[in-house]
Structures are given as structure tokens and as C-alpha cells.
Chain A
Amino acid sequence: MALSVGGWISLLGSVAVLWGTATWALYRSLRDEDRKLELLEKQGEIDTYSPQALAELREWIRANPDDPLAEETRRRHNECVEILKRIDEPFYGWERRDVEALEKVEEA
């Protein structure tokens, strides 16, 4: 019994989506770990949020100033800002001018 065209599409599609994604995720994960270790050895610290993630964090802090986690969240935000201003080579795709424009979030 031969495999139909639909069967081939289904087989190859499953292989591409599952094995392709798993292989990509494994490669990307290991590569990023190597990069983080390299930067940690070189600089002693690395940025902890991407530009998009840090912007979301800042927005969330401003929208939830009385949240029980507000203080801890501010600390995480400000720690990332401080690190970004200290290091030369960020892990995430930060532009120098964006880092210079970053400000810490103060308690409301």
C-alpha cells in the first residue's frame, strides 16, 4: 500500500513541524547558554531582560504600583538597568542609545 499525496504531506509536515522545532529549540537553547556563559566570564554579569520584556515590566510596575510584588519587581527592573549601563556587550539586542535613555523606576 503506497502512501498518498496527502499522506506524504502529513508525514513531511509532522516531521518538519515537530523535529524541526525540537532541533531548533535545542540548538538555540544550547547556543544561548554558551553565549551567556561567555558574557558572564568576560563581564561578570549580563542583562536580564530584552528591550521588549523590560518595557513590559516597566509598564506593569506603573500600572500596579500597590501590588505586593511592586518592590521586588522594581528591584528586578532597576538591577537590569544598572547592569545594562555597566556592561559593554549585552546579551539581548540592546542599542546603546536605548540603554542611555533607560531610567530606573522609583517608588510611587
Chain B
Amino acid sequence: MSEPDARTVREQWGSRFGFLMAMLGAMVGAGNIWRLPYITGENGGGAFLLAYIILLFLIAVPGLMAETVFGRYTGRGVIGSFRSAFGRGRAEGLGLVVVLVNVALMSYYAPVIGWTLYYAVHSLLFTFSGAGFAPQAFWEAFSGSTTLTVGTHTLAVALIAGVLVFGVRDGIERVVKWMVPLLVLALVAVAAAGLTLDGAMAGLAFAFTPDWTYLTRGQTWITALGQALFSTGLGWGIALTFGSYLSKHDDVPLGGGVFTAVGNTSVGLLAIFAVFPLVFAFGLEPTEGSQLTFVTLPNVFPQMPAGPLWAIAFFVGFFFATVSSGLAITEVAVTTVEEETRLGRTGAVLAVSGIIWSLGVPSAYSSSFLGTMDFMFGSFGLPLATMLIVLTVGWKIGAERIRVVALNQNADIHVGSWWDPVIAYAIPAIMAFIVLYYVATNVGSSFAETAGGVALMAGLVVAAVAAMGAIRGRGESTDAVGGGD
């Protein structure tokens, strides 16, 4: 492996707590708060949780260790890490694919951050407890107003850029060190209030009563796999990027793997306690997803004692969850642009934010466009990025090699040889299975979107590889880790 070609000394996290909160804040997002609760209730309650927890420890924890150590080992962003593994040339395009998927993902996530910002501000203005407040009309007025949706999208992008411009240590770390603990406290407060309501136990019964027959259904395990892989942020390039800012004495397996994956799910469990008692105490439909968050809950909080306070806790907490993820997703591209171009930090932040803002305007304007982007990049782009990162660690660098050389160096826990086949075989096979399953189950009902999604990803890989080949202008060099196992 060659030495990094950074122009200045690379930044490092200021504290262990800052790194852990950044990882947790990155992975805890909207999916934890509105998705985990209802898929748990829909898929056998406690039985689903058992399946999910097993897969979390078997797949997500080792996977996050692999991604984080890849970044720590190379000390570079996504494209630089692929260059370290494969050498200069076309294969760097695989890293470019990961970056482009992140940019595309952030382009439609920024409008969602805008929604949460809008609701957080209105919770602080006590709008939801005002006389004659009508949640459905409020949501329709917001989502139907281009000024508001594009305006909040713009504010969200500007806010994230305003933090990122200060860097990893003085920007991201400084913000998430208080934002993530406050998010947890907010959810604890809402859960505590909800559990005191009549009918709250019915919500817990719905979420936790195990129906073991669900464990014999393939759909339960596929849903659990999808949640374990996607909600933990595995393979998005975030853990790689954040891992690249660790110091040489920092541990990877315990913080980057165990704490990140299990902490993320712990917040999801907290969301179950926060959301389900409310849902059942007020006789709501638990499977409404985003509709539940933005239409139903604003109507519930005013009916609770000290309701405006719980509305503030929930919506500000929800905003913190989305913005901390937005910071991380954007940082993947910012780190790479800063390393790979002549732009400095500010220039990289402005360039990436400008692209994200431009690409995000259609998603802010049209929720159906946002849904299409989510279907294509969430269903096919993220698994592609995960496959590229995990296959590179498992096969190009070599699972055993990176575990023995780098993962167990300065580690707080020892990772044994069981890890190697999980990285080399299990995660790639599962990701491939999930993608094929999505294609098979969606191709009939939405052929154009499914075929378009697959074609887009294939085109993205071909174009990125060709572009890097053209940029480098020459064949492969020997600036690489070398062959795999």
C-alpha cells in the first residue's frame, strides 16, 4: 500500500465519543423511527425481533467492521480506498459508483430533511396545538407548495453545508456530540409520556408478542435481512469515510462494528416504545409509515397532557436523526472530492452541496419523483455500493489478511476467523439474493421502474469505470494492496 497523497495532514476525530456519536447519528435515520416499529408489528412481533437481532449480529456487525477498517487501513476516502486496493485506473470507477450513489441518495433525502425541519420549527411555534389545526390540510398545504418544499430542501442543504465546511472535527463531531444524545433523550421522553396513556400496553403487545409461525416464513427473514443491512448503513461508504479519520491507536471492531450496529437498532427499539403506545392509545393505524409521522402524530400530541412539549421532543428529535444522517451521506462525497480534486474543504463542500441541491429539486417538487429515486437507488444503488465495498474487502484485499493485519490492531475486542467467510461469502451472497428477490417481486408490478433501476445501475458502473479509465489515461499501476486470498 502506498502512502496517502493528501496535500495536508489528514484530520482526525477529536474524541472517541465524537466518532461513536457520528457513526450512530449517521446510521439512525427516518427508517429507524417510522419503519422498524411497523415492520416489527407486521412480521410476528417478538419473533421478527429475534430474527432481526440474529441477522444483526451475524451480518451487520461484521459488515460494518469490514467497511470501517477498509477506511482506517487506507486512510482515504472512497475513491482513494479503491485506488489503494486496485491501483490507479479504471477500477477507481467502482469507488466513483459508491460516491455517485451517495450523491443521488442525498438528493432525495435532503427534501425529507426539509420536511422534518419544517415540522420541527412548527412544533416549536406550537402550531400543532393551535385552535382548528387540521393535520391533513397542513401536510397537503406544505407538500403542495413548491415554495415550501424547495425552500426547506434549500435550507436543509445549506444547513448541512454550513456544518461540513468546518470539517470533520470542528463541524460534524461538534454537532453530533450533542445532537445524538438529545435525539435519544427526546425519544425517551416521548416513550415515557406515551407509556402512561390508557391503551399503551396494547401497542407494546402488538410490537412484542411473538408469533413464532412467522419464523417459518421466508418473507419474515427477507424483511429482517433488508432492515439489518439497510438501516445500519452498511456499505454506503459512510463507515469507510468516517473510519478513514480514525487515529492509528483507535479501535475498529467494537466502535465501528458492535456499537454502531447495535446502537442503531437500540434507537429503533426506543422508537417502538415511543411510537406504538401513542398509536394504540389513540386507535391509529400502525402501518402508515411517513403518513403516520407527518399527518397522524401531529394530531395526537395536542391530545396528550403537556402535548406541545412531546411534539417538540418528537419532531426536533426526528429532525436531528435525519440531519445527522444527511451530514454523513454528504461527507462521503465531500471527503472524496477534497482528496481527488484541487478543491479545498470549502470548495468541495460548495461543489457537492450545489450538485445535491440541483439534483434534489425535482424530488422536492414531486413526491412521486422522490419515490422513484428511492425505489431505484434504495433498492438497487445501495446494494450495489455495499457489494462493491464488501467484495473489495473480502476478495481483493482479502478478509483474513485485513482482519489479521488491521482489524485486530489496537482493537478493543478480538475478532476471530469466523469473520472471514462472513465477509467473503455470506454478505455478498445475501446482497445478491436480496437484489434478485426485489427484481423478481417487482418486475411484474412495475416493470419499467425495475428494469430502469437495474439498467441505471449497470450503466452507472460502466460509465464510472470508463470515466476513471479516461481520466487516468493509462493502464493499471502497481499502487495497490495486491491480490486477495
Q: State yes or no: do A and B come from one complex.
A: yes
A40 and B249 CA atoms in complex are apart in Å by 10
In the bound complex, do residue B482 and residue A19 qualify as a contact, i.e. CB atoms below 8 Å apart?
A: no
In the bound complex, do residue A76 and residue B53 qualify as a contact, i.e. CB atoms below 8 Å apart?
A: no
In the bound complex, do residue A22 and residue B262 qualify as a contact, i.e. CB atoms below 8 Å apart?
A: yes
In the bound complex, do residue B269 and residue A53 qualify as a contact, i.e. CB atoms below 8 Å apart?
A: no
In the bound complex, do residue B202 and residue A50 qualify as a contact, i.e. CB atoms below 8 Å apart?
A: no
A63 and B259 CA atoms in complex are apart in Å by 33
CB distance from A41 to the nearest CB of B (A): 12
Binary A-proximity of B343-359 (CB < 8 A = 1, otherwise 0): 00000000000000000
CB distance from A11 to the nearest CB of B (A): 4
Pick the contact of A19 from B46, B269, B410, B412 — CB < 8 Å? B269
In the bound complex, do residue B210 and residue A6 qualify as a contact, i.e. CB atoms below 8 Å apart?
A: yes
Contacts of A25 in B (CB 8 A): 254-255, 258-259, 262-263
Pick the contact of A4 from B205, B249, B263, B414 — CB < 8 Å? B205
In the bound complex, do residue A7 and residue B205 qualify as a contact, i.e. CB atoms below 8 Å apart?
A: yes
Interface of A, secondary structure class, is helix
Contacts of A4 in B (CB 8 A): 205, 209
Contacts of A46 in B (CB 8 A): 249
Contacts of B55 in A (CB 8 A): none
Once A1-B205, A6-B210, A40-B249 are accepted as A-B contacts, the answer to whether A53 and B411 lie under 8 Å apart by CB is yes
Contacts of A43 in B (CB 8 A): none
Which chain A residues (6-57) contact chain B, with CB distance < 8 Å? 6-11, 13-15, 17-19, 21-22, 25-26, 28-30, 32-33, 36, 40, 46, 48-50, 52-53, 56-57
CB distance from A45 to the nearest CB of B (A): 9
Interface size on A, residues (CB 8 A): 43
In the bound complex, do residue A3 and residue B412 qualify as a contact, i.e. CB atoms below 8 Å apart?
A: no
Residue A78 interfacial (CB < 8 Å): no
A54, closest chain B residue (CB): B408
Residue B400 interfacial (CB < 8 Å): yes
In the bound complex, do residue B266 and residue A68 qualify as a contact, i.e. CB atoms below 8 Å apart?
A: no
In the bound complex, do residue B401 and residue A18 qualify as a contact, i.e. CB atoms below 8 Å apart?
A: no
Residue B204 interfacial (CB < 8 Å): yes
In the bound complex, do residue A50 and residue B258 qualify as a contact, i.e. CB atoms below 8 Å apart?
A: no
Residue B404 interfacial (CB < 8 Å): yes
CB distance from B224 to the nearest CB of A (A): 13
Residue A102 interfacial (CB < 8 Å): no
CB distance from B201 to the nearest CB of A (A): 6
In the bound complex, do residue A76 and residue B20 qualify as a contact, i.e. CB atoms below 8 Å apart?
A: no
Residue B458 interfacial (CB < 8 Å): no
Contacts of B411 in A (CB 8 A): 50, 53
In the bound complex, do residue A14 and residue B49 qualify as a contact, i.e. CB atoms below 8 Å apart?
A: yes
Pick the contact of A2 from B205, B250, B400, B404 — CB < 8 Å? B205
In the bound complex, do residue B254 and residue A68 qualify as a contact, i.e. CB atoms below 8 Å apart?
A: no
Contacts of A73 in B (CB 8 A): 404-405
Residue B133 interfacial (CB < 8 Å): no
A10 and B249 CA atoms in complex are apart in Å by 38
Residue B265 interfacial (CB < 8 Å): yes
List, sorted by A's number, 22 A–B pairs whose CB atoms are closer than 8 Å: A2-B201, A2-B205, A3-B204, A4-B205, A7-B205, A10-B46, A18-B262, A18-B266, A25-B259, A26-B259, A29-B20, A32-B412, A48-B249, A48-B409, A48-B410, A53-B408, A56-B408, A57-B404, A60-B404, A69-B481, A72-B405, A73-B405
Please give the residue numbers on chain B whose beta carbons come within 8 Å of chain A beta carbons, in ascending order: 1, 15-17, 20, 45-46, 49-50, 53, 199, 201-202, 204-205, 208-210, 249-251, 254-255, 258-259, 262-263, 265-266, 269, 400-401, 404-405, 408-412, 414, 481-483
Known: A25-B254, A76-B409. 19 other contacts (CB 8 A): A6-B46, A7-B204, A7-B205, A7-B209, A7-B210, A8-B208, A10-B208, A11-B204, A11-B208, A14-B53, A17-B53, A25-B262, A32-B251, A48-B410, A50-B411, A53-B408, A57-B404, A69-B405, A73-B405
Please give the residue numbers on chain A whose beta carbons come within 8 Å of chain B beta carbons, in ascending order: 1-4, 6-11, 13-15, 17-19, 21-22, 25-26, 28-30, 32-33, 36, 40, 46, 48-50, 52-53, 56-57, 60, 64, 67-69, 72-73, 76
